[in-house]
Amino acid sequence: MMTCYSCVISRLDRSEPKRGPVRLWHILQELSPKVHIIKIKFTSGVGNANTEPSIYSPMKFTVLYLLSLFAACLTQAAEKPNIILFITDDQSPIAGCYGNKVIKTPNLDALAAEGTTFTEAFATTASCSASRSVILTGIQNHANGQFGHTHDYHHFTTYKTMAALSLPLQLAHHGYRTATIGKYHVAPESVYHFENYLRSSFHKAVGMANGCESFISEESDKPFFLYFATHDPHRSGGVDKTSPLTLKANLFGNLADKKHHKGVNEVFYDPNEVVVPEFLPDTPECREEIAQYYQSCSRVDQGLGRLIEILKKHGKWDNTIIIFSADHGMAFPGAKTTVYEAGLRVPFVVRDPKQKNKGVVNNALISHVDITPTILDMAGGYDVAKQAPKTLLKYKPTEKFENQGHPAKKYQGRSWYGLLGTEESDGWDHIMASHTFHEIQMYYPMRVYRDRKYKLIWNIAHGLPYPFASDLWIASSWQAQYQQGKDAKYGNRTVDSYINRPEFELFDIQKDPAEANNLASDPAFAKVLEEYKEKLKKVQRETRDPWRLKWSYE
C-alpha cells in the first residue's frame, strides 16, 4: 500500500547550516519512488513541489518533515523480504518440475509452480567447499582462494579480503538477522560469519527445518536470511547389504532395511523404473545406486515441505523469498568433481511472493557466482551499475605477513533478480567454470567457457590420469565397469577415455548435449577451437585466474 505524506518547509534562519536540507532532500528522493509518495509544500515562496531546495535559500524542515523521513526509512525496512537460500548437497536437476516422471518431489514442484524455474543453471565447480565459497562471495574459487575442501588435512581457506563482499556479512550490515543450519564447509569464519548457528535434533532436512522454527518465528523488526544447507543427497558410508549384487549400492544417507528416518515418510524406488542419464552406464549396479539417490532426494523434498509449513504457520510465507539449488551435480563418476554438464548443472527454483507471473520457465544461463549479488539486490544492498555492494565492508588483518588475498571491490557475478517472473534471457548467454582441487590429493585444474552453441574444456593437467574422490572410486556404478577393463563402456565414454583426457574438449552443446563427440581434434573446427580459447582466456583475465599463466609456458 502506498502512503502519502505531506510536509511543510519553512524558511531557515541564516545561521542554520545550509547543506542539511539538500542532503535530506536527496535521501528522500531516493526513498520515495520505492516506498511512498511525498508531497512537499513550500511556505517560503521559494521553489515548488518539483524543484530541489537551493543551498542559497536555506529552509527549515518542520518536525513533520523529519517524522515523514523517519517513517519512510521504517517503511522501507519493513518491506524488505525474508530470504532463504536452500542448498542441497550433490543434487542434479532431477525432479518433477524438470521433467522426471519417476522421482517424487511434490514440494519443489509446487515451489516451481509459484515461482521461476531456471533450466540453464550451473555451479562454477563440482566440488563442495569450493562451490559454497562462490555461492557466498560472488567470486570464482580461483580468485577467492578456496581451491578445494576446507576440512581435515585438505585445509583450503578463503582469502580474508573476501569479507568485504561476503553475503552473510553484507546482509547483516543491511539490517538482516542471519542464520545457518546444516553443512557449512567453508573457512574462515571471519569471512562467513552468521549471527546464529542453528542446530537440529536430528540430521536430516525435516529435522533441520524444525531446528529453524524458533529463528523464523522470532519477533523482530528485522527481516531474516537463512542459509539452509542439507547433507543429503550426498553419498554416505553404508551400502545396501540386502542387494543380491556383489557390488552393492551406496545408501546415500538412507537407513538400511528400508527403515524410515525420524519425521520422514521415506519414498522407496524400484531400480528397474529409474531413469538412467546418458553419462551413466545402464547396469544393475548403477540402477540400484540411482534408486538410493532418488530416495535421498525425496527426503530432502520433505524437508523443504516442512520448512514451508513453518513459514506459513508463523505468517512469514507471504514475505519470504526461497531460492532452491544445490552446490553441484549428483555424486556419481561423470558428474561430481568433473566440469561435464552432469557435474555443473543444478536445480534452480526461485519463489518470490511478489512475483505476479507464476510457473515461469527461464533459460538464461546463470551460475552460482550470481547468487550473492542477486540476494544482495533483493535486500537493497546491491549497486547494479558497479556490479558491487553499495557498501564495501572493512576487514581487519589479523596476523603479520599473512596473505590476506587481493582486495575485491566488485562481484564477478551479477544479479538476475530482474529475470524473475519473466522468460527474458538476453545478455545471459555464457558461463565460466573453474575446478582445481576437490580433495587435496586430487590436483586436476580444468577451466570451461560455455555458451549456447559450444563448450570448451581446458584440461590443464591433461598429462595426468584423472583423479577420483575416494567415495566415487569405490562406487559400485563405477567399479562394475572399471573391473571389466579400459575398453568397457561407462555411459557415452570408455573407462580409459574417462581417466585419460586430452588437453582440450570441444562440444557442440546444441547438437551434442551429452558431450559424446569431442571436436577439438577435428580440422573442420580448428577455427572454432581457437575462437573459444580466446574467449576462455578473456574470462580468466577478468576473474584473476592464476592458471591463465599456463597459456604462456608448459
Decide if 113 contacts 131 (C-beta within 8 A).
no
Q: Which residue has the higher pLDDT, 19 or 92?
A: 92
User: How high is the pLDDT of residue 170?
Assistant: 98
Which residue has better confidence, 40 or 338? Answer: 338
The answer to whether residues 131 and 141 touch, using CB atoms and an 8 Å cutoff, is yes
At residue 502, the pLDDT reads 98
pLDDT on residue 3: 36
Of 230, 271, 236, nearest to 253 by C-alpha is 236
CA 341 – CA 512 distance, rounded (Å): 11
CATH number of 405's domain: 3.40.720.10
On the question of pLDDT at 60 being above 90, the answer is no
How many domains are there within the chain?
Answer: 1
Per-residue pLDDT tens digits for 66-118: 455 555 454 444 589 999 999 999 999 999 999 999 999 999 999 999 999 99
Question: Percentage of the chain surpassing pLDDT 70?
Answer: 85
Domain span at residue 136 reads: 82-423
Question: Residue 19: what pLDDT?
Answer: 40
Kindly provide the residue ranges of all beta strands, DSSP E only, lying in 75-218, ordered along the sequence. Answer: 82-88, 116-118, 121-122, 177-182, 196-197
DSSP state, residue 76: H
For residue 164, being part of any structural domain is answered with yes
**Residue 481, in any domain of the structure:** no
Asked if residue 499 belongs to a domain, the reply is: no
Residue 405, pLDDT score: 83
274 pLDDT above the threshold of 70: yes
Q: What is the structure's pLDDT at 70?
A: 52
Residue 105 lies in a domain: yes
Decide if pLDDT at 433 tops 60.
Answer: yes
Q: Alpha carbon of 149 to those of 90, 199, 438: distances in Å? A: 14, 22, 6
Domain membership of residue 553 (yes or no) is no
Residues in the chain, overall count? 554
Work out the pLDDT band at 122, boundaries 50, 70, 90: very high
Measured distance CA(343)–CA(136) in Å, rounded? 19
pLDDT in tens, 194-247: 999 999 866 699 999 999 999 999 999 999 999 999 999 999 989 999 999 999
- What is each CA distance from 45 to 9, 10, 20, 56, 270, in whole angstroms? 10, 9, 19, 14, 81
Tell me if 12 sits within 8 A of 20, measured CB to CB: no
Q: Is residue 42 situated within a structural domain?
A: no
Beta pairing, strands 116-118 & 349-351: antiparallel
Asked whether residue 439 is assigned to any structural domain, the reply reads no
Q: Does residue 250 fall inside a structural domain? A: yes
Mean pLDDT of the chain: 88
Cβ atoms 322, 355 nearer than 8 A: no
Contact 336, 477 (CB under 8 A): no
